[in-house]
Amino acid sequence: MTTDKIYLVGFMASGKSTVARHLAQRLHWRHEDVDDLVEARERQTVAEIFAKRGEPYFRAVERDILKLLLPIRQMVVATGGGTFADPDNRAAIMMDGVCVWIDLPLADLITRIPLDGRRPLAADRAALERLYAARVDTYRLAHLRVNAARVSPGVVAERILDALAQLRP
């Protein structure tokens, strides 16, 4: 496991993008957001891609974007909520850098998820709960877990830095 790259994984609305910015600033590294890169490449929002092309198409583009990021070092990558659920993505992430799960309880996440259609997989509450339950087991495979409940993104970034310091010899 290399520590010159950090991947943030976790459920939608867990704060991966915001924490990535904080963490990259503290490390003086670059940060990238997989969903933002997908939207830029496709010139559509994630919701539009899901509606027009479907989730399988979105996941294929997401895999392509992740592959493009692999050679870049000294970078914090905010993944999409489902990126780490794909076995090939997960294997690449685990080999390429330190994978950090930003853990928040579902009740906290629900208060953060807008009901405006920007989160296509959050439209149905029961389905959202099933998706969360399914993904949590995958997130547990990350190298590190950071509890992000009721703290600011800056504090989450500090917790990640503390955990990384304990990894280094």
Structural domains present in the chain: 5-167 (3.40.50.300)
pLDDT digits (tens, 9 = 90+) for 119-134: 555 566 777 788 889 9
pTM score of the predicted model? 0.91
Separation CA 57–CA 31 (nearest Å): 24
Q: Which helix (H) or strand (E) holds 146?
A: strand 144-147
**What amino acid is encoded at 169 in this protein?**
P
What share of the chain in percent tops pLDDT 90? 75
Q: Which helix (H) or strand (E) holds 6?
A: strand 5-9
Separation CA 18–CA 152 (nearest Å): 10
